[in-house]
Amino acid sequence: MSDIAALDATAQAALVRSGEASPAELVEGAVERAKQVNGQLNAIIHPRYEDAVAEAGGDLPDGPFRGVPFLLKDLDGTAAGEPLHAGTRFLKEAGYIADTDSELTVRFRDAGLVVIGRTNTPELGLVTTTEPEAYGASHNPWDLDRSTGGSSGGSAACVAAGIVPMAHAGDGGGSIRIPASECGLVGLKPTRGRSTLGPEVGEAWAGLVTRLAVTRSVRDTAALLDAVAGPGVGDPYWAPPPARPYVDELAAEPGSLRIGWTNRSFDGSIELDPQVAAATEATANLLEQLGHQVIEASPAALASGDTLEYFLPAYSAWVARELDHLAEMAGVPLREDGFEAGTWAIAEAGRATTAQQYLAALDGLHRLTRATVAWWEVEGFDLLLTPTLPELPPTLGQFGTTKEEPLNGLFRSAVPAHFTAPFNVTGQPGISLPLHQSEEGLPIGMQLVAAPAREDLLIRIAAQLETAHPWADRRPLIWTGTI
């Protein structure tokens, strides 16, 4: 049998369908690989190895990924009978166990995936690195001194190291795309309303949050989106369904697209790492070679620099509400010492935000959305190319907070999220592709953003780039398969 760790989820599922491997063999292999390297990565914090092996030996749903091992993030959804701590000491010390499944969890299982555990995440997903005080830092398989990104950093580390071929992720400001970039993976943030957040909530962060996974191949992303997309019962809004399955886009010719690109920060506030800037220009040149019309251009609305004016009041209110929700879940009062200094300080600001200030902030974000989306819908661009983040994966330890400097993590996170967060505000789909590496061998992701509900176009262009500049054979320092 081939090196299982090197196979994407589509290939692993094909082994099960052909009888070359059983679900139990795939899951037992993933568990052994997890045990082999998790001590170095600190990525899986709630293992369920024995239960997963037992489930793999039973009657699994006959979905497209039957028998493929998978990981859930310890945020962005629940699994009945399993812990959910959201990166917090508060829920960890309360020993919280979820009593219901999120709809997305159900859909992952219905697709045939077998969950072997839950992965590390920053507290409430509020920063762009996975270094929660409650569980400690996750380490990047490419360089153990580097961040995995956040908030889906534990999931990304496991996929990059070959433990599982894909893992659950969520994105409220870049939390799928940033870990994908820092760990050398594919990360699609779907359109707002494409994946359900029910039944717990109708929306999270006024629609900025959406959920899917990090993967190692474009075809896995497309097939998983086909398997789990669509509204849940009673969702307040949903994205229009695609004209055909997303897997059909993999072989579709994208045609000659009008693509804008930039390797400068939108508002001039951040200096890009020279290697990141060069990689972005190289990607623009590659797209031109593939027959696209490539123009150095980006939405003028993103250069205004007033996003934070609207974002911060809303963000702090969302965090305050999340803490109240945790107290409701756990059935115990909130305690300041149950949370990191930054989380508590942001929530305190949220408690001081009036309803009128919150609604004014949303009005501002909606105005920004209309002005930004016009670049696609009015000015006629098909795609925007940017780096996923303006820097190489940062070293661990830069995002910590103290009572004296409680907002250090938030402000430090503004740098990695510079190119990703605007498209959580607008609700547009964006994908990070692991097209480049630095001189040190660190991954450099490239982000492509499409008009609302155009994941089909992103998958077409991503598949074209994967063929033109493949990444499947790259291996990090910590790799559980055969070199």
Question: Which residues are marked as active site?
Answer: 73, 151, 175
- The H-assigned helical ranges of 256-354 are 274-289, 307-330, 341-351
The two tokens of residue 273 are 């790492």
Q: How is residue 295 written in tokens?
A: 């123009």
List the beta bridge partners of residue 387.
446
CA distance 267 to 248: 37
Radius of gyration for the chain, computed over Cα atoms and rounded to the nearest angstrom: 21
Residue 474: DSSP 8-state: -
CB 264 within 8 A of CB 284: no
Strand 69-73 and strand 114-119: the pairing is: parallel
**Residue labelled with tokens 């900025």:** 208
Q: How many residues does the chain have?
A: 483
Q: Could you tell me which residues are beta bridge partners of residue 211?
A: 170
Alpha-carbon span 276 to 364, nearest angstrom: 31
Cα 119–Cα 43–Cα 422 angle in degrees, nearest 5? 65
Phi, psi of 242 (to 5 degrees): -70, 160
Q: Which residues sit opposite 98 in a β-bridge?
A: none
The most distant pair of C-alpha atoms in the chain lies apart, rounded to whole Å, by: 62
Question: SS in 3 state form for 148-211?
Answer: CCCCCHHHHHHHHCCCCCEEEEEECCCCCHHHHHHHCCEEEECCCCCECCCCCCCCCHHHCCEE
Residue 281's region, left for phi above 0, alpha for psi from -120 to 50, else beta, is alpha
Say if residues 177 and 432 touch (Cβ distance below 8 Å): yes
Rounded Cα–Cα distance for residues 165 and 402 (Å):
37
The type of residue at 330 is: A
Phi–psi pair at 462, nearest 5 degrees: -65, -40
Using DSSP's 3-state secondary structure scheme, residue 218 falls into helix
23-41 and 49-56 are packed helices; what angle lies between their axes, rounded to 10 degrees? Answer: 160
